[in-house]
Chains A and B, each alone.
Chain A
């Protein structure tokens, strides 16, 4: 009697824990549909890079009737001299962003945790987070208000100093610094909160024990804080390396306001592809560059992940 009740309870429990499939699959459906449209089918679309794709009446018809041209789109792309400049810009900016991104937000997060007044820290955090909520279009207005010929920098600072006003939108040497600054500026609040979240998870016992043993503040940061942040830093940097051939399109497209004089330092692969696609029905070269970007990006993430897995298996993404 007693035994059978026990087995009955066990059976109920087993039934409760047993896996459910159909209802969950139904819940997943809308999301799967969006992923299919937005991500997975376009991945197959890469084959069109080997076609001389022309739109005729509908997509299926166009796909079937467009001529297959092998690698000629790619040959055409690789002969384009601006490709190499854009590639250099893309890689150069992203390398700087990744390196600064490993240092600046981490330093600000640690400092935010350490400054004496926690009230001030809250205020700083609130203000630093603000740019994250502004679109790149609005940021381009802010930059325009500061930098244009009768903008704030020229009329409020340079003019009173007796310096001739500068046309910053033609000053090509200044833009790399501005773009790097803006990228840091926009995401500093967001990124430092991500690190701050991992910081607050560190037990204060470590620091107290370290202090009792006479370990100084800098050494505590070096030997306790940074090792605890290591995995977050690696994950975020890995994701960034995986997107090393992609750029923040809004920064490079909106902020320079389409000034072609600035193209040598502001044009990146994404803007290059967009401008190639705009106002043409010949998608050959844009398709080739699009696929080129995806493939080298794929290689980048796979190889970096492989290296990380060799060095430290726990930090790898997959």
Chain B
């Protein structure tokens, strides 16, 4: 007992002796602090602007400390922002369905690749790895969805292209390898379980941490997606919140059209509190991520750590 104590103390002393010098520590702390501030300050700025009165915004410019507080942006969204709410429901639907489906597809694909008793695991690992390196290009891909499958401008096209992901397959394969020992499965096979029972009853419950990581990654991917709507969506009622956000940043007219559609009156662009509306919608779009971030970020870090270990 005391021996361990001594060892520990020695280890600690050696650790203290073997660290970077005081000035180097200070310099790196300053660098880290600056980098960290650059990550958080712009977000705080956007939140503060969304809480600023439109007139004072135009007069004094963007500031962390609003001259006059105001909620005109949020009020507008509550009253006339039907398009915002509908885009929000598209985002939620796509994120939920997409996350569940993609996690299933990825887990089903990754599991056989992790099993030593699957003869063709090399071939199918190769098939998915190749997609990380080569592609047929944007245009054939676009033609595939719009003209071959004919599902352009539908909800399905917001989900299907992201169902498989080579990187997540490789992460989950590594996870299955380490979390599901082959010996355990052998005893299940003696009891007469088939591979599907083993997968659903043993492998999945043992790998919840890995599944959660992949599920979170894929939920963020779907929630943050603006690329698929940009490529495939024409109808405004199928816009998700990211794409709506993109459309109104480049085009204030879009905001006016949106409000006339909902309210049925000719909305003049200059009467709209356009700056605060934009920033309010941005806050609403990023809100769920910011609120959930403290809880899920350590899962990401853990998941990355697992996936980075070359398996």
A residues contacting B by CB (< 8 A) are 12-13, 16-21, 23-25, 27-28, 30-32, 34-35, 37-39, 41-46, 48, 55, 58-59, 62, 108, 111-112, 114-117, 120-121, 123-131, 133-138, 140-146, 148, 150-152, 154-156, 159, 185, 188-190, 193-194, 196-198, 200-201, 207-208, 211, 217, 220, 231-232, 235, 239, 242, 249-250, 254, 257-258, 270, 273-274, 277, 283, 286-287, 290-291, 293-294, 297-298, 301, 317-318
> What residues of A have a CB within 8 angstroms of the CB of B28 in the complex?
111, 114-115
User: Are A297 and B134 interface neighbours, CB within 8 A?
Assistant: yes
**B133, CB-defined interface residue at 8 Å:** yes
Chain B residues near A140: list those with CB within 8 A: 246, 249
Q: Specify which of B128, B140, B227 is in contact with A48 (CB 8 Å cutoff).
A: B140
| Distance to closest chain B CB from A202 (angstroms) | 13
Contacts A129-B297, A258-B250 given; indicate if A43 touches B119 (C-beta within 8 A): no
Q: Which residues of B contact A (CB under 8 A)?
A: 14, 17-21, 25, 28-29, 31-33, 35-36, 38-40, 42-43, 45-46, 49, 57-58, 60-64, 104-106, 108-109, 111-112, 115-120, 124, 127-144, 147-149, 160-161, 163-164, 169, 186, 189-190, 194-196, 199, 220, 224-227, 242-243, 245-246, 249-250, 278-279, 282, 285-286, 289, 293-294, 297, 300-301, 304-305, 308-310
Residues from chain A with a CB closer than 8 A to the CB of B46 are 141-142, 145
Cβ contact within 8 Å between B134 and A58? no
A39 touches B135 (CB 8 A): yes
Contact B147 A293 (CB under 8 A): no
| Cα of A290 to Cα of B163 in the assembled complex, Å | 23
Of B58, B140, B278, which is within 8 A of A43 by CB?
A: B140
A37, B62: Cβ atoms closer than 8 Å = no
Residues of B within 8 A of A294 (CB): 134-137
Establish whether residues A145 and B279, one from each chain, have CB atoms under 8 Å apart when the complex forms: yes
In the assembled complex, the CB of A37 is this many whole angstroms from the nearest CB of chain B, namely 6
Bound Cα distance A16, B194 (Å):
11
Residue in chain B with minimal CB distance to A24: B112
A108 vs chain B, min Cβ distance (A) = 8
From the candidates A34, A196, A207, name the one contacting B18 in the complex (CB within 8 A).
Answer: A207
Which residues in A have their C-beta under 8 angstroms from that of B289? Answer: 133-134
In the assembled complex, the CB of B275 is this many whole angstroms from the nearest CB of chain A, namely 9
B32 to chain A: closest residue by CB: A124
- The residue in chain B whose Cβ has the minimal distance to the Cβ of A141 is B282
Q: Is the CB of B285 within 8 A of A138?
A: yes
Q: Given that A258-B250, A294-B134 are known contacts, is A124 also in contact with B36, CB under 8 Å in the complex?
A: yes
Return the chain A residue nearest B127 by Cβ: A35
A28, A133, A152, A270: which contacts B62 (Cβ < 8 A)? A152
Cα A24 to Cα B243 in complex, Å, equals: 39
Cα A235 to Cα B311 with chains together (Å)? 13
In the docked arrangement, what's the CA distance between A118 and B147, Å?
A: 55
Contact A249 B304 (CB under 8 A): no
Partner of B309, one of A155, A201, A317: A201
> Is the pair B39, A127 in contact by a Cβ cutoff of 8 Å?
yes
Shortest CB-to-CB span from B71 to chain A, Å, is: 18
From the candidates A12, A42, A155, name the one contacting B137 in the complex (CB within 8 A): A42
Q: Would you call B61 and A150 a contact (CB within 8 A)?
A: yes
CB-CB under 8 A from B131, the residues of chain A are 35, 38-39
How distant is the Cα of A60 from the Cα of B228 in the complex, in angstroms?
24
Given A115-B25, A133-B224, A286-B139, does the pair A138, B286 have CB atoms closer than 8 Å?
yes
> CA separation between A20 and B32, bound complex, in Å?
51
Count A-B pairs with CB separation below 8 Å: 310
- Residue among A37, A140, A287, A297 with the highest chain B CB neighbour number at 10 A: A37
Considering the complex, give the chain B residue whose CB is closest to the CB of A292. Answer: B137
What CA separation (Å) do A156 and B220 show in the bound complex? 33
Q: Considering the complex, give the chain A residue whose CB is closest to the CB of B135.
A: A294
The one of B38, B129, B135, B169 in contact with A42, judged by C-beta atoms closer than 8 angstroms, is B135
Which residues of B have CB within 8 Å of A39?
130-131, 135-136
Are B308 and A198 in contact, CB atoms less than 8 angstroms apart?
Answer: yes
Listed A/B pairs (8) with beta-carbon separation below 8 Å: A24-B120, A35-B131, A37-B144, A115-B25, A115-B29, A127-B36, A138-B286, A148-B62
A9 to B33 alpha-carbon distance, docked (Å): 63
A127 to B33, CA, bound (A): 9
Cα distance A27–B124 when bound, in Å?
12
Report the nearest A residue to B286, measured CB to CB.
A138
Q: Is the beta-carbon distance between B117 and A141 smaller than 8 angstroms?
A: no
Q: Establish whether residues B140 and A31, one from each chain, have CB atoms under 8 Å apart when the complex forms.
A: no
In the complex, chain A residues whose CB is within 8 Å of the CB of B64: 152, 156
A297 CB, min distance to chain B CBs, angstroms = 7
Residues of B within 8 A of A239 (CB): 132-133
Beta-carbon contact of B35 and A188 below 8 Å: yes
Q: How far is the CB of A261 from chain B (nearest CB, A)?
A: 14
Query: Are A141 and B118 interface neighbours, CB within 8 A?
Result: no
Known: A23-B195, A108-B32, A142-B42. 12 other contacts (CB 8 A): A25-B112, A31-B128, A45-B143, A126-B294, A131-B39, A134-B289, A141-B245, A156-B64, A254-B226, A277-B139, A283-B143, A291-B137
A249 / chain B contacts, CB cutoff of 8 Å: 227
Shortest Cβ gap from A135 to chain B (Å):
4
Check A19 against B140 for contact (C-beta < 8 Å).
no
CA distance A128 to B36 in the complex (A): 5
